[in-house]
Structure 1
C-alpha cells in the first residue's frame, strides 16, 4: 500500500491558506471535515472558502493557476528549492512554456513594482490567452492608454490567487484587472517594509535620511517622511501629477513624450531592483559620471541597470540627480528642492529640462520609439 501523499505539502510556500484547502479538497479528495479537523477550523468556514475559490474560477488567471497547481503531482514538473530549502514545483509548467519559478521574495519584489503602478488612477492590468506576459496600462493626460509595466503571466496568476487584483472587465479574449482593497493593503505593507529597511541602512551608515530633517523651522523624523512617501506612492507619481498641469496658454507643462521618457526610466529602475539595494551607489555615480557602477546582475535586471546608468551618465550631476529623485525614488518636488538646495518652485523647471535631455538620450540611443518598457 502506497503512503498517502498530501498535495498541499508540495505547493509553493506563498500560497494563501484557503487556496491550499481548496486544492486539498478538490485535488486530493480530502473531506471538508478532515481539513477542518487538521487545521482547527469549523467545517462551515472551510466550506465557504472552498466555494469562494470555486466561484472565482470564472477569473481566467485564477482558473489557470488552480489548474496548474492541481497538475503539479501528475505532470512530473521539476522542483526547485525555496528560501527554506524545501522543494517547490514550477507553478505554470504544466500549462505553458517559459513560465518562471516563483518564491515569496520575487512576489514581494514584483508586488512593490506592479501594485504601485496599478494604484495610479485609471491603471489596469490587461492580459489575453495568447499573451505570455501581462501589461499595465494607464490613461495619459491626452486620453491615450500608456504602457507603464510588464510582468510575467505566472506573477499575474500569483497576484490573482493572493486577491491583490480583481477582474474589472472581460471583453472577448481580453481581460482587464484593477488593484483590489487587499492589493492596496499589501502595497502599503510592502512599501512600509521597504522604507524601514532603507532607514535602517541609512542609520547604519550615518546618512542624513536616517535622522531628523528640518522643515519650516520645525523638525520631523525620517519615519514621518517615510510615512508621507508611502502615502504618496500609493496614489500617483510626482511626474503624473505634474503632467496634468497646464501653462497659461493651455498647453501641458509636460508633453506626453516627456512623461513617457520618465516612465521608461522609472520602469528600468524598478526592473533593476535598485530601490531595495544600496541607494548611495547612485549618489556616488552622479558625482562621478565617468564611473559605471558594477551591476553584479545578468539578464533583464542587469540590462535595465545598464540603461539607467547610461541615462544618468548622459544627464550628468544636477539633471541626473533630479530625475533619479523624482522619477525613480518618487520624491516630491518640494523635498527634492530642499535636499538639493534649490530655490522654491524651481524644481519643476529643472525637471522638465532634464526630461527633455532624457528624451533626446533615448532617441539618439534607441531610435525615436526609445527602449521598450519591460
Structure 2
C-alpha cells in the first residue's frame, strides 16, 4: 500500500510534526516511509510524532487533531477516491486565509498585554480574551472563534496554563515571535517596501510604529496600551484614575476598531461622519452586529455620539494607541489636561454603550 506525502494530506497551516502524526496514525504511513519522504532518520520522525502525542492533553490540540483525523477517515472511505490518496479536507479557515492572519494580529496583540489570557469553555463556540487589572478586576477585551484558537494551539502560539471546565491559555514565546513577524510585515507594506526587511530579526524587538494622518511616525510598546497604563494610576485618594468600567468602554471601542480593519489611514477622515448627519448604518435597536463592516458602523456610531474633541481623544488614545503627551500636543491642549478630557470622553462612551445594551456587539 502506497503512502502519500504528509504535504498532500493536511492543510497548509498545520505544523510539520502534526502532519507526520496524522500521516502515521490516520494515513497508515510507517516511520520509515515518512523518514524517506522527509529525508531524515526514522528516529527523528518518531520524536516529532511522540511530541504531538504528548500534547493531546491540551483540549484545543486534541479537538483539532480529532477533527482532522475524522475528516481524513471520511475522505479515505469515499468510493470514488482511491485508498491512501484522499486529502484531509478542512471546513474551517486555514492559516493562509486572510481571516487567520487578521485574527492572529488582533488576538495575539491582546494576549501580549500584561495580565491577558485566553479562556475556553467546553460548551462554548467562541473563546474570550480576558485581562486582569491590578485591582483584581477581570474584563473581557476580545473574542475569537474556537476554530481559530485551535490553529493557535497547534502552531504553539498559545499554551495551556490550567485545565478544567474553563481552560486558560497564555501566549507563548513562539506566539510573541509570530506576532512580531506579522507586524513587521505590516509595517514594511505600509512604508511601501517591496519586502519585509527582516521579520525574523524584528521578532526579537518589542516596539511598534504607526502612521497618523500627518504621516508622522508613532512609536510605542505594543505590549501595553495608554489606556491600561492610565487604568493603573491612582488619584490622591488611592482610587484608580480610570474606573474598570471606563477602561472596559475604551477597550470595547478598540476591539471594534481592530475588527473593522480601519487603521489610521482610513479613520483619519472620520470627522465627516460627525458633521454629515445620519447616513444609514448602525442604529440602536437594530440588533447585534458582527464582522468588519458592522464593527466599523459601531465605531462610527460611537464617535458620532461623542462628537469632535471627545471623539478625537478616545480615537487617538484607545484606537491609535497614542500617549497623552502626543494627544495633547496634537490637540493643542495644556500639559496634563488630556487625561481629564479622556476620562470625560470615556464616561460619555460608557453611557453610549449602556444605551445600546445588547445591540453594542459581542464585547460587554
State the TM-score, normalized to the length of structure 2: 0.81
In the TM superposition, residue 366 of structure 1 has moved relative to its aligned partner by: 2.6
Number of residues of Structure 1 aligned to a counterpart in Structure 2: 329
**Correspondence 1:284 to 2:276:** no
Aligned-pair CA distance for 1:71:
1.8
Contact between 1:18 and 1:50, CA under 8 Å: does it hold in 2? yes
Tell me how far 1:362 sits from its aligned partner.
1.4
Inter-partner Cα distance in structure 1 for 2:320 and 2:158: 24
CA distance in 1, matches of 2:186, 2:280: 23
**What whole-Å deviation, never above 9, does each CA across 1:231-287 have from its counterpart, x for those lacking one?**
x11x22111111010111212110111111001111111222223xxx333221225
The CA distance in 1 between the partners of 2:9 and 2:333, in whole Å, is: 56
Query: Tell me, what secondary structure is at the counterpart of 1:74?
Result: helix
1:177-233 CA-partner distances (Å, limit 9, x unpaired):
1111101111111222222333339xxxxx9759985xxxxxxxx4xx4xx43xx11
> Which residue pairs with 2:66 in the alignment?
67
Structure 2 partner of 1:81: none
Partner SS for 1:177 = strand
The 1:289/1:174 distance shift into structure 2, 3 A limit, reads same
**CA shift at 1:176, angstroms?**
0.8
Please give the residue correspondences for 1:97-136 in structure 2 after superposition, counting only pairs within 5 Å.
Answer: 100-104=92-96, 105-136=98-129
In the other structure, the counterpart of 1:44 is 43
CA distance in 2, matches of 1:290, 1:252: 35
In the TM superposition, what whole-angstrom CA distance separates every residue of 1:314-359 from its partner, at most 9, and x where no partner exists? 1122221221121112222223333334333322122112111111
Give yes or no for the alignment of 1:309 onto 2:294. Answer: no
Structure 1 match to 2:186? 194
1:326 aligns with 2:298: no
Distance 1:195 1:316, change over 3 A: farther
Q: Secondary structure at the match of 1:246?
A: coil
Q: CA deviation at 1:65?
A: 0.4
Q: Output the CA distance in 2 between the equivalents of 1:68 and 1:74.
A: 10
2:140 aligns to what? Answer: 147
Give distance in 1, aligned partners of 2:61 and 2:236: 49
2:13 match: secondary structure: coil
RMSD between aligned alpha carbons?
2.9
Partner of 2:19: 20
Deviation at 1:7?
6.2
CA offset at residue 371 of structure 1? Answer: 4.3
- Post-superposition offset of 1:127: 1.1
Offset at 1:10? 4.3
Matched, 1:373 2:363: yes
CA contact (8 A) 1:127 1:134 kept: yes
Give unmatched runs, 5+ long, in structure 2. 77-86, 194-209, 282-288
Give the 3-state SS of the residue equivalent to 2:163 in structure 1.
strand
Q: Is the 8 A contact 1:6 1:28 kept in 2?
A: no
- Equivalent residues of 1:141, 1:256 under 8 A apart: no
Contact persistence 1:11–1:88 (CA under 8 A): yes
Of 227, 232, 235, 1:247 maps to 235
Q: Aligned partners of 1:20 and 1:238: how far apart in 2?
A: 42
- Residues 127, 27 of structure 1: alpha-carbon distance in 2 compared, 3 angstrom cutoff: same
3-state SS of paired residue (1:236)? coil
Supply the distance in 2 between the matched residues of 1:179 and 1:281 (Cα, whole angstroms).
30
In 2, distance between residues paired with 1:308 and 1:153? 25
| Alpha-carbon separation, structure 2, partners of 1:282 and 1:314 | 16
Residue 269 (structure 1) aligns with: 257
What secondary structure, in the 3-state scheme, does the structure 2 residue paired with 1:29 have?
A: coil
Q: Is the 8 A contact 2:26 2:73 kept in 1?
A: no
Q: Measured at CA, do residues 288 and 56 of structure 1 come closer, stay the same or move farther in structure 2, by a change above 3 Å?
A: closer
Stretches of structure 1 lacking an aligned partner (at least 5 in a row): 78-86, 92-99, 202-206, 214-221
